[in-house]
Structure 1
Amino acid sequence: MRLCELRQKEVINVCSCASMGCVIDVDIDPQNGQVLALIVPGPGRFSTLFGRDHECLIPWHCICQIGDEIILVELKEPHPPKR
């Protein structure tokens, strides 16, 4: 699967039954090329017009299923990416 295909899928957290948005990037281990996590936009400050405070990191082991249109994840609380 290519990143452009992942970016078209909506991420749903099965713990909260809430949409987290669509994938904007992936975290890849440069040593072996494995995907470590998906990155989705974090909650907006006031609205999407004013940008976002951070992004949410979804570790690969939290992904339940990748379907044709959505990605189901089991995430107790979103994690901001390490910078």
Structure 2
Amino acid sequence: MRVSELRVLDIINIEDGRRLGPVIDLDLDLEKGIVKGIVIMASSRAKGFFGSGKAGDVFVPWEKVIKIGIDVILVDGRDLININY
């Protein structure tokens, strides 16, 4: 799978079935050659879920990615980090 293909997949929280938003970036450790996590754009419905009520992006550590399928990426959405650049 190519990185560009990740951008069209829905990100779904397995805890409650909510759509969290689209993938906008990957966090890579180039020295180790690993993916540290994905960054998703919080949808308007998901903002309140993360507790901040503010617009921002959400960092999903790679360990929280449960499954990457043909149509969706399933993640464990507990304790995700809301980030603002």
Aligned match of 2:80:
78
User: Aligned to 1:53, what secondary structure does the other structure show?
Assistant: coil
Cα distance between partner residues in 2 of 1:43 and 1:9: 14
> Cα distance, 1:78 vs. partner?
2.3
1:1-83 to structure 2, matched below 5 A, reads 1-44=1-44, 53-81=55-83
Identity among equivalent pairs (%)? 29
* Bigger strand share: 2
> Cα distance, 1:21 vs. partner?
1.3
Contact map agreement 2:21 2:43 (CA 8 A) in 1:
no
* Bigger helix share: 2
> Cα distance, 1:43 vs. partner?
4.3
Cα distance between partner residues in 1 of 2:28 and 2:61: 11
> Given residue 7 of structure 2, which amino acid in structure 1 is its aligned partner?
R
TM-score by length of structure 2 reads 0.78
> Given residue 15 of structure 1, which amino acid in structure 2 is its aligned partner?
E
When the two structures are aligned, how many residues end up with a matched partner?
77
Deviations 1:9-48 (A, max 9, x none): 0000011210011111100002122111011012448xxx
TM-score by length of structure 1 reads 0.79
State the superposition RMSD in angstroms.
2.0
